[in-house]
């Protein structure tokens, strides 16, 4: 691969950046670029004549959270190992006064101090969190043209037939929308206030619908259409226009990913919604209950099925998000392309693998250990088969499960975890890390699963990747796990950090005698844990 190709690989969002100008990227050899893609936190920097772009990528970096406090941009990374920001510190981009890092509970924060008058835009794209930094006087492009036509009224073209109703909203500039059904009504919500050309509803043919009502708030307009529940629903955005169809072909579901967040405060549910706009709270005029709509720009992104949780329900949508809740304190916030849903004390979420407990694993497959980072000696057992035959059997089961779950990231993962346990139990740590990384890519919610973090951390520690292992062991999912505390102590011993080692071993409680920290040299084992035999 040429040096030019390597540099292009650093930033994938080429369309928007090309419009702003050619980016000048830091030189990086092909091998270094490939290694960066595998790092838990990879910091990428590019610049043109207008702004500097900083991206946080990698398994951990892509899950970073960004907030702004006055002139500070704060990026929270769920890793106690500080990201490499040496270039930002030594040569701050235009508009930046200084950059620093600081340790926080369960992670690290990168703080970018802006100069007076400097601007920043944050967001998420192509599997990375980004910040566009502008020097004073070189802010983003001028504000877009007003979304409401000069007349102050948004035209609505209505096309009706016996079994179909189509409404086309002709805005003057792109706006965000949410489209979904609640019971006997379809809701269309836009994140701009306007008057709609729907006042002569009585003279219109509404096809299968029985009525249309609309209302405007300070920063939104909502349309409620009474229509039979058996009508399909679709939404399509073209330029500044949105077309909503009841009846006819249904829109293709997809484009919204859900994950847990337990590292940035109270437990939250996070939805990745590209082009997210704002959360609009509404009250149903007929039912009287309160719900939220989260808008997004085109193209349409939808939620294919209802997701019912203890504290909230995500409705099936044709565009954006619809959220019902029986609580009074649900918080819905939009941070770039992330929609965060939580409560002051955290959401009541089931573990990602709770549904797997009832799944029947293949006979004799390595079973879950009582602690997330505990490695059982029985995992290496091959039964009556030879090693090669046993490994091929587990690989076949894992491949079959992966193929069946391609369209469902919440599908069972027990066969893939069973293969990983066998690989770690037999000392094949590199292969185990690869299997776990592939699992997280296919099912992002598993990144917060304690066993996934524990197994990957143990495998990384066993092959000397101490900082990467600490990133797994330091998350809140393993904060009180005794097996993770032992591994943190082991890593501290390797780094001659005796104070941390003593503290970590003191936090641990006696795990089962049938376990061992596979790959740990005998010389590094602390005296209280002699029962943990090193790998043979």
User: Shortest CA distance to 442 belongs to which of 405, 482, 496, 401?
Assistant: 405
Cβ 414 vs Cβ 357: under 8 Å: no
How would you write 220-285 as a 3-class SS string? CEEEEEECCCCCCEEEEEECCEEEEEECCCCCCCEECEEEEECCCCCCEEEEECCCEEEEEEEECC
Give DSSP secondary structure letters for 411-439.
Answer: S--HHHHHHHHHHHHTT-HHHHHHHHHHH
Candidate from 57-66, 90-99, 510-519 with smallest mean pLDDT = 510-519
pLDDT at position 30: 36
Torsion, Cα 257 280 327 318, to 10 degrees, reads -40
466: pLDDT strictly greater than 70: yes
Q: What do you get for the CA distance between the two ends of the chain, in Å?
A: 40
pLDDT at position 199: 64
> Which CATH code, of 1.10.357, 3.30.70, 3.55.50, 2.60.40, is assigned to 3-134?
2.60.40
Domain extent listing, the chain: 3-134, 144-348, 362-529
For residue range 113-134, list pLDDT tens digits in order. Answer: 999 989 998 877 777 888 999 9
Residue 342: pLDDT band with limits 50, 70, 90: very high
Highest mean pLDDT among 206-220, 312-326, 510-524: 312-326
pLDDT at position 413: 84
For residue range 15-25, list pLDDT tens digits in order. Answer: 333 333 333 33
Highest mean pLDDT among 4-8, 256-260, 288-292: 288-292
pLDDT at position 110: 93
Share of the chain above pLDDT 70, in %: 80
Residues 494 and 266: their CA atoms lie apart, in Å, by 33
Candidate from 35-44, 316-325, 341-350 with smallest mean pLDDT = 35-44
Give DSSP secondary structure letters for 500-511.
Answer: HHHHHHHH----
Cβ 238 vs Cβ 248: under 8 Å: no
Return mean pLDDT, the chain: 79
For residue range 141-170, list pLDDT tens digits in order. Answer: 655 568 888 888 999 999 988 889 999 999
Which helix (H) or strand (E) is 166 found in, with range?
strand 164-170
For residue range 411-453, list pLDDT tens digits in order. Answer: 688 888 999 999 998 889 998 998 898 888 887 778 778 899 9
Torsion, Cα 411 336 476 358, to 10 degrees, reads -10
Over residues 79-89, mean pLDDT = 85
- Centroid of chain to Cα 305: 19
pLDDT at position 9: 38
The verdict on domain 362-529 having CATH code 3.40.91 is no
Over residues 442-467, mean pLDDT = 87
User: For 189-206, b where at least 16 C-beta lie within 10 A, e where not — what string?
Assistant: bbbbebebbbeeeeeeeb
For residue range 288-330, list pLDDT tens digits in order. Answer: 789 999 999 999 999 888 888 888 999 999 999 999 998 889 9
Cβ 533 vs Cβ 516: under 8 Å: yes
pLDDT at position 14: 33
Over residues 477-501, mean pLDDT = 86
Residue with more model confidence, 248 or 422: 422
pLDDT at position 349: 73
């Amino acid at each position: 691969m040429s040096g030019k190709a390597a540099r292009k690989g650093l930033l994938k969002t080429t369309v928007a950046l090309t419009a702003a100008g050619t980016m000048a990227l830091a030189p990086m050899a092909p091998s270094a670029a490939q290694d960066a893609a595998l790092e838990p936190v990879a910091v990428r920097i590019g610049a043109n004549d207008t702004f500097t772009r900083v991206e946080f990528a990698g398994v951990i970096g892509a899950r970073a959270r960004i907030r702004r406090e006055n002139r500070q941009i704060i990026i929270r990374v769920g890793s106690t190992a500080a990201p490499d920001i040496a270039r930002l510190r030594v040569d701050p981009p235009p508009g930046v006064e200084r950059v620093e890092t600081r340790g926080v509970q369960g992670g690290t924060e990168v703080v970018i101090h802006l100069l007076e008058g400097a601007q920043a835009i944050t967001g998420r794209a192509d599997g990375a969190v980004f910040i566009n930094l502008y020097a004073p006087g070189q802010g983003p492009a001028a504000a877009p043209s007003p979304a409401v036509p000069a007349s102050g009224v948004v035209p609505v073209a209505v096309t009706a037939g016996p079994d179909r109703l189509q409404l086309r909203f002709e805005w003057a500039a792109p706006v965000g929308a949410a489209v979904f059904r609640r019971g006997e009504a379809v809701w269309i919500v836009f994140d701009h206030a306007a008057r709609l050309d729907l006042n002569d509803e009585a003279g219109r043919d509404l096809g299968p619908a029985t009525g249309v009502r609309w209302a405007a708030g300070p920063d939104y307009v909502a349309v409620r259409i009474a229509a039979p529940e058996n009508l399909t629903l679709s939404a399509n955005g073209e330029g500044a226009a949105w077309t909503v169809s009841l009846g006819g072909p249904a829109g293709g579901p997809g484009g919204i990913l859900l994950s847990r967040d337990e590292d940035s405060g109270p437990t939250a549910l996070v939805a990745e919604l590209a082009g997210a706009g704002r959360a609009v709270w509404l009250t149903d005029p007929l039912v009287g209950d309160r719900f939220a709509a989260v808008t997004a720009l085109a193209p349409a992104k939808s939620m294919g099925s209802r997701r019912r949780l203890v504290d909230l329900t995500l409705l099936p949508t044709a565009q954006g998000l619809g959220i019902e809740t029986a609580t009074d304190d649900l918080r819905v916030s939009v941070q770039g392309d992330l929609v965060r849903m939580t409560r002051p004390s955290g959401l009541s979420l089931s573990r990602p693998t709770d549904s797997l407990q009832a799944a029947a694993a293949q006979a004799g497959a390595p079973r879950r250990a009582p602690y997330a980072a505990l490695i059982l000696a029985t995992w290496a057992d091959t039964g009556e088969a030879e090693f090669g035959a046993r490994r091929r059997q587990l690989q076949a089961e894992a491949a079959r499960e992966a193929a069946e779950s391609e369209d469902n990231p919440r599908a069972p993962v027990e066969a893939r975890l069973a293969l990983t346990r066998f690989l770690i139990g037999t000392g094949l740590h590199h292969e185990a890390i690869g299997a776990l990384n592939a699992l997280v890519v296919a099912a992002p919610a598993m990144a917060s699963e304690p066993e996934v973090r524990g197994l990957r951390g143990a495998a990384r520690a066993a092959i000397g990747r101490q900082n990467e292992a600490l990133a797994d062991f330091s998350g809140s999912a393993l904060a009180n796990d005794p097996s993770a505390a032992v591994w943190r102590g082991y890593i501290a011993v390797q780094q001659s950090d005796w104070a941390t080692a003593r503290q970590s071993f003191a936090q641990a409680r006696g795990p089962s005698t049938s376990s061992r920290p596979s790959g740990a040299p005998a010389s590094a084992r602390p005296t209280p844990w002699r029962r943990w035999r090193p790998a043979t």
